[in-house]
Structure 1
Amino acid sequence: MRLARPALLIVALWGLLLPSLAAAQSAACALPGRDGPTYVRNTYYPGSGTASAAGRTLNLGTLRGGTDAASAPLTPGDLVFIIQMQDGVLNNSNSVAYGNGSTGRGVTDLRDAGHYEFGVVTAVSGSVVTLRDPLRYTYESGPATASAARRSFQVLRVPQHSALTLGGTVRPPAWNGETGGVVVFDVAGTLNLGGATVDASAAGYRGGGSFVGGSLTGQNIQDYAALYTTTTSRGAMKAEGYAGTPTLVRGTAVTGGYTGTPSGLAAGDLGYPGGLTVARGAPGNAGGGGTQHNAGGGGGGNVGTGGTGGWSYGVYRTQAQYDALAANVKAACRTLTSGTTTYYSCQGDGSRDVGGLGGQGLAPDATRLFAGGGGGAGDSNNAADAATTAQGSGGAGGGVIFIRAGGVTGSGTLLANGQAGEPGGRDAGGGGGAGGTVALDIPAGAVSGLNVQVRGGAGGTSGLPLRAGETQGPGAGGGGGAVLLAQGVTVGSADVSGGAAGLNSPAAGLSNSYGSRAGAGGNGQLVYANDTAPLPGLCTPALTVTKTTATPTRFTTSTAATYTITVSNAAGRSEATDVTVQDPALPAGFTFARTQAVTLDGGATRTVVTDPTPGSAAPAWGTFTLPAGASVSVTFDVTLASPAPATYQNAAQASYLDPARTSAAGTATATFDPLGSGAEDVTVFSPPRVPLQKWVRNVTRATPFGTQGGGQPGDILEYCIAFRNDGGYVATNFTLRDTIPANSLALPAAYGTSPAPEGAPLGVRLSAQQVQSGESTPAGTDLTAAADADAASLSASGLTYTTNLAAGAGGSVCFRTQVR
């Protein structure tokens, strides 16, 4: 636990070291957008027993009803928000060691107080809820005992809105000791504030309830913690906070001027350790009650520490009355001023500094969220002077507003202010409740139309207008709350001021704080950095679409081609539902023929089978659900109708239910851009075509090439075969063969021999020139006659020449014979 700074600060809060973002995302990602664009309230359940860290089960109590809460029960796929509302360890000795062991306030150990996390429901069986992922923290519910503090946690169903426009005023149900005080919004897309007010003011921990006390004036009571014993109690009721619940809290019914009402503690639950629910000690962030006699209640705390309540009872004395007192009486008086007037508080209980202490402030921590602590009650025994006026109870703290959204637009107001303490007349005023907490987990940017208030409530007054003549302790101001903003987010304004001290007015025209102190300011514009609650954009499905072909090469004579479209969802994301796989527009001359296969991987399922019909130019397949890390692949054939030579690129896409939709059935689309890939390209070529032309000439008689020739025995004839691939594609393994004419001998060394030392006969000439009529032997490369590594061979049976002949390539291959 760290003490908060007692002023408005602009600081960066980076939180604690946390596990990897991917793991954290998994635990917080359910089904973004599942509940659509119409506002649904949170559902509230009290937690029961213990839900241990690393476990996956929660035991819940009865769903809370009321106009500010939904009645929708939990079902598989729901997102829940779990928060430990009360916990801690405190010293309950009746001394300044109360609370944190040294200052009379706070705790010695927060334990899990304020810890929270999201979870995803996978099963509900009676009161037992099973979560998909292990819990990060331990959550406990149990009564306060002689030594242990009260513990309580609650579980909220958080509607997963796709987009949302607010209007009017949205309120959470007030905290009642089991549930409430917290409102959570989860919007996958844009939250339009719509001029609305989200008001969690006075929805947090409850103020201490006023009751008819006795009068122990002059007995020098200095208790920090004592039992509630009605008229013999040694102080007023402490408030409620994260460390426990008092016997009485502020209610709405006024009985004899008092508004204390039972807090709802179950039998055997002492509220605070040892049942010590009255006097000035401030447990956790709750304000302490004013100690006897008629001291003011302490302010509740959150980030800012609550103020201390005003002094105990004294008798108002004018200057003339003071001057008439004996010297020993004067020595014990307090001198007070109001403007230019000096007056005095004398006698009575001595105007002692025994007002309720303010609830302890805590440095903000993104892994803990606190409602504002309630203000302590003012000590009272004469509220019947104004029997119909609510007097003496402390104010409730502000609640918690948590917004996680893909974006925020419009103007609106978020309120989590503490409630003012009730006034006292001839008795003490109640302390103000502390401001609550607002956390905005949204993308970086300015939300200039958003105004946030987490102010502490003012302390209650004493004296006039209810009754004059006495100086009684006014209530203290509540501490300011916290505004936690994701990095880079700014709002129009953030008011985190502490509540004002209450004033005592013993006579017309006079007022003085009479020992009451204002609450310390909270902290605003803090950086909210908590990977356990990633932005919705990190939870929503992230689909990628790829497309390939098994037939990248086709010819104008081909009749079919094959494609595969694969749609994948990234790991660590929520599932994509209502997924349709589509080829939005097959190329001209291509039409759907048949589906070869639909392959599901990684937990993908096909919820509805819809297949395209043959002949479709935009085939589509439905409908699939893709969990995180899952994929679906569709392989299909198309019919080709004499396509022209070209490279055909082909897009693909997948549509799915848009988590950020603004209408009930809005879809989002993931696409495959063929311009960025060649994997799906189908290139159609004219097939290879190699016409041949054979020429002959008499070398001995030096005749040119012609289509006919002859000679006498002993003459040498040269044959050249001209070739050219005038098709559109390579002629693979093009092989040219020719036989040796009858009555002729092949000349394996007609073109010489290769250089020494090989000296191999060179019997074939390969030329890039296509021989024409009337030409002589073309220039070229001479190849060996043997069937070896080069492309040609010549033997008694004939010529063989093999190559891969590119489109447009050609030449001539020549050999010689001798007429026998």
Structure 2
Amino acid sequence: MKILFQECKVNCILFTVIWGISIFSVNTIQAQTCPQPVRTFITSNTNTYYPAQQAMVSAGSTSIDIGAATYGTTAISAGDVLLIIQMQGAQINAANDNTYGDGATGRGYLNNAELYAGNMEYIIATNSVPLTGGTLTLQTGTVNNYKNAAFGADGRYTYQVIRVSVYYSLVMNADITPPRWDGTTGGVIVMAVMNNFIMNGYAINVTGAGFRGGGAVRLTGGGGTTSTRDFVTVSPPNDSISSLKGNHASKGEGIAGTPRLINSNHYGSLLLRTDEGYPGGSFGMGAPGNAGGGGSDDGTPINANNSGGGGGGNGGAGGKGGNSYGVNGPYGGYPGAPFAQRSPLRLVMGGGGGAGDTNNGTGNPGGLASSGAAGGGIVIISVGAIIGPGRVLANGNSANSTIVNDASGGGGAGGSVLINARYGHANITVYANGGNGGSNFWNGGNPPHGPGGGGGGGVIYADGTLNAASSATGGAAGTTNSGSGTINYGSLAGAGGISVTGPVMAFPPACMVLPMQFVFVNGKRNGTQVSVNWEVTNEKNVINYTIEKSNNGLEFFTAGTVSKAAGNGDISRYSFSDAPTAAKAAIYYRIVAAEAAGHKTFSKIITVKTALAEGTLDLSPVPAIGHSTITWTSTGNNLLHITLFNVAGNAVLSRQYRLKPGANELLLTNLEALPAGIYIVKATDGVRNANGKLVIHHSF
């Protein structure tokens, strides 16, 4: 076998060069020290999963309270790479009509400020957290908001924190699976390998590990509503379920919440939760979020006019559940909606299928067989080279088809897969297909019962072309028999998902260049001198610090060297005095920490204003990544007009700001939309004109 990616030596720095185009904000974080240069063999999942405990993690937070680990044996240590991901979090309209869900279609969710589902990012631990949980501190603040809230006015909001093992070279000696999603953790696998990832013909399998299907139970009517068009209603209480009293069937689980009745462990058992899980209730044909709706009865006193459950959604919508027994009414569960906000930065699990309506309790296991099926989970892989063959399986489960004269459940939607590799994409085949809707077959023939809708296809993102057999198709609609043969009877297949080749989420640097951190770096002008000051922590391997300066923020030269101070305290403070020789409006400095083994760590670049020339625009930082700050002094409430010109002299960006008297600090944003390079910035407020040079970088 030809090795596609040569394994580097122990002190190589992989991942510090972003493969392709990095589109994942990681705040220039660095991870754990390099793994030892050995080949590791695994036969099971090595992630550790911590549930949310803190109610709100606001963007910029540098600490998170997490609960006791639910799976995994390796606790968090300082320097570990972690993934924080919002699993559930979406509001729905809970009206009992066709405005249920997104306010217009009887399915979906509200696209508003409370839509948290799918937010995710890598974070770096700066402390140890035991398996029993505790407070996790972070190297940099979080980019996104994360929310943890129990069912109330809205469905559940949940996030989890996953410890990611980083390997030098990895060989799979068995299929790898995650713990199934249990409402707090699981359903996700994250893998990181610096060099060769040898899959050895095995699979990473998250099929059916995602959002769970609605649980079915035999109900013979008399315990609740008999409306023919219940988009939403509460589930029967436990005593009614025990006496078979009730109507309709359960919705599936998805980004907007978790129903009270759940198909646990793929038809292993019926899980009865204590809360309803969705606003307005967890029964009825409306489809909340990306979950399939439950089958509904059309008003018979014995809950006999059974209709099928809707399929879950993700990359594509699920399929609608089949029509009701007897009257052929269009009361099957509505299809789970596709997750429209999907991107390489935002992934969700496949939605669970809705349950079919059952009054006879047929199938194996009896009654429960009409449950909806689970969706696929999430797989995120960041590696050097994929050495195949190998597979990623993120399919939705197909619904049970052993039912006789009852309705069937909806299929689970395909999950989400993200592949970040330098070489070898064609060696891996990815499947994120929706599961099939459940079928039923009654020897008595007519009239038929509602089959289940198919699950929607999933989501695949990769930064290279995968094996041609990869797919994200929708699941087939279930069938039933009638006097004229096998028919779908109103059930629909799930829509196809998406598979995109292009830039993906970048893994943070997998090797820390030095086991130290710059606490701060600043500088100020003192007469004809510039004083540069910095603090560091954990500098035991450092031998000296080189102070570098630049007139343009790009080309640096040495200004001086400072030896490491004696001792190894928690924080060390340093200062250096420099005499600028060039008459520049600003000078740029950075500190380079050098280790005996040859490693180097660079501080951020700071700007020190000297004698600011008349007509010169004050811009910082230089270079700019994503944004720049303009400092402008105004004598009134004027409008400041800013225009950026590229080197060809073309205007590429214009902005307008309302000034206040005195000093103004104005943020020039969305610079990531412009190509990296040098730009001329012209500014005028009607009183004063100024020009400046802006250098835009997208990564270092």
TM-score of Structure 1 vs Structure 2, range by shorter chain = 0.5 to 0.7
Name which of 191, 204, 225 aligns with 2:197.
Answer: 191
Matched, 1:435 2:445: no
Mapped contact 2:542–2:594 kept (Cα < 8 A): no
Deviation per CA, 1:36-76: give whole Å up to 9, x if none.
643461001110122221111111122113xxxx2212122
Q: Aligned to 2:204, what secondary structure does the other structure show?
A: strand
> 2:593 maps to what in 1?
631
Change (3 A) 1:387 1:246: closer
Offset, 1:528: 4.0
* Residue correspondence of structure 1 range 118-267 to structure 2 within 5 A: 118-124=122-128, 127-145=134-152, 147-215=153-221, 221-229=228-236, 230=241, 231-252=244-265, 259-262=269-272, 265=273
Q: Aligned to 1:448, what secondary structure does the other structure show?
A: helix
Offset, 1:390: 5.1
RMSD over aligned Cα atoms:
3.5
Distance 1:85 1:633 in 2: 41
Change (3 A) 1:218 1:121: closer
Distance 1:153 1:501 in 2: 32
Q: Aligned to 2:28, what secondary structure does the other structure show?
A: helix
Tell me whether 116-125 or 496-505 shows the greater mean CA deviation.
116-125
Deviation per CA, 1:386-437: give whole Å up to 9, x if none.
6658510111000000001122222101000000112331110000000000
Mapped contact 1:205–1:240 kept (Cα < 8 A): yes
Distance 1:300 1:63 in 2: 29
Deviation per CA, 1:496-553: give whole Å up to 9, x if none.
100000000246x8200010000000011342434xxx246x554569xxxxxxxxxx
Q: Which runs of 5+ in 2 are unaligned?
A: 1-20, 298-304, 515-537, 545-560, 571-589, 601-700
Tell me whether 175-184 or 455-464 shows the greater mean CA deviation.
455-464
Offset, 1:155: 0.7
Mapped contact 1:35–1:160 kept (Cα < 8 A): no
Distance 2:323 2:126 in 1: 56
Mapped contact 1:32–1:187 kept (Cα < 8 A): no
Matched, 1:368 2:346: yes
Mapped contact 1:378–1:430 kept (Cα < 8 A): yes
Q: Give the percent of matched residue pairs that are identical in Structure 1 and Structure 2.
A: 34
Offset, 1:297: 0.3
Change (3 A) 1:252 1:302: closer
Mapped contact 1:53–1:137 kept (Cα < 8 A): yes
> 1:53 maps to what in 2?
59
> 1:682 maps to what in 2?
none
Deviation per CA, 1:416-460: give whole Å up to 9, x if none.
0000112331110000000000101222x5522211100000000
> 2:99 maps to what in 1?
97
Q: Aligned to 1:632, what secondary structure does the other structure show?
A: strand
> 2:119 maps to what in 1?
115
Q: Aligned to 1:442, what secondary structure does the other structure show?
A: strand
Q: Aligned to 1:153, what secondary structure does the other structure show?
A: strand
Distance 2:149 2:76 in 1: 23
Mapped contact 2:37–2:169 kept (Cα < 8 A): no
> 1:306 maps to what in 2?
318
Per the normalisation by structure 2, the TM-score is 0.65
Change (3 A) 1:105 1:632: same
Deviation per CA, 1:765-806: give whole Å up to 9, x if none.
xxxxxxxxxxxxxxxxxxxxxxxxxxxxxxxxxxxxxxxxxx
Distance 2:381 2:591 in 1: 28
The structure with more radius of gyration = 1
Mapped contact 1:247–1:271 kept (Cα < 8 A): yes
Offset, 1:468: 4.5
Mapped contact 1:447–1:492 kept (Cα < 8 A): no
Deviation per CA, 1:554-604: give whole Å up to 9, x if none.
xxxxxxxxxxxxxxxxxxxxx9998999xxxxxxxxxxxxxxxx9755999
* Residue correspondence of structure 1 range 715-754 to structure 2 within 5 A: none
Offset, 1:272: 1.1
Offset, 1:87: 0.2
Distance 2:259 2:432 in 1: 24
Per the normalisation by structure 1, the TM-score is 0.56
Name which of 471, 477, 494 aligns with 2:454.
Answer: 477
Mapped contact 2:30–2:512 kept (Cα < 8 A): no
Offset, 1:124: 4.1
Matched, 1:85 2:92: no
Change (3 A) 1:469 1:535: same
> 1:353 maps to what in 2?
330
Deviation per CA, 1:274-299: give whole Å up to 9, x if none.
4x101111111000001113110000
Deviation per CA, 1:282-321: give whole Å up to 9, x if none.
111000001113110000000100000000012xxxxxxx
Q: Aligned to 1:460, what secondary structure does the other structure show?
A: coil
Mapped contact 1:207–1:240 kept (Cα < 8 A): yes
Distance 2:543 2:198 in 1: 30
Deviation per CA, 1:251-276: give whole Å up to 9, x if none.
3597xxx95322xx5x5x431124x1
Change (3 A) 1:190 1:429: same
Mapped contact 2:106–2:287 kept (Cα < 8 A): yes
* Residue correspondence of structure 1 range 451-490 to structure 2 within 5 A: 451-464=429-442, 468-486=445-463, 488-490=464-466
Mapped contact 1:305–1:479 kept (Cα < 8 A): yes
Mapped contact 1:454–1:497 kept (Cα < 8 A): yes
Mapped contact 1:259–1:391 kept (Cα < 8 A): no
Change (3 A) 1:633 1:73: closer
* Residue correspondence of structure 1 range 297-446 to structure 2 within 5 A: 297-314=309-326, 350-363=327-340, 364-384=342-362, 391-423=369-401, 424-443=403-422, 445-446=423-424
Change (3 A) 1:122 1:471: same
Q: Which runs of 5+ in 1 are unaligned?
A: 1-18, 315-349, 544-574, 582-597, 608-627, 635-652, 657-820
Change (3 A) 1:516 1:351: same
Q: Aligned to 1:187, what secondary structure does the other structure show?
A: strand
Q: Aligned to 1:27, what secondary structure does the other structure show?
A: coil
Distance 1:21 1:455 in 2: 26
Distance 1:103 1:516 in 2: 17
Change (3 A) 1:576 1:164: farther
Mapped contact 1:211–1:259 kept (Cα < 8 A): no
Distance 1:214 1:160 in 2: 54
* Residue correspondence of structure 1 range 274-293 to structure 2 within 5 A: 274=280, 276-292=281-297, 293=305
Mapped contact 1:601–1:630 kept (Cα < 8 A): no
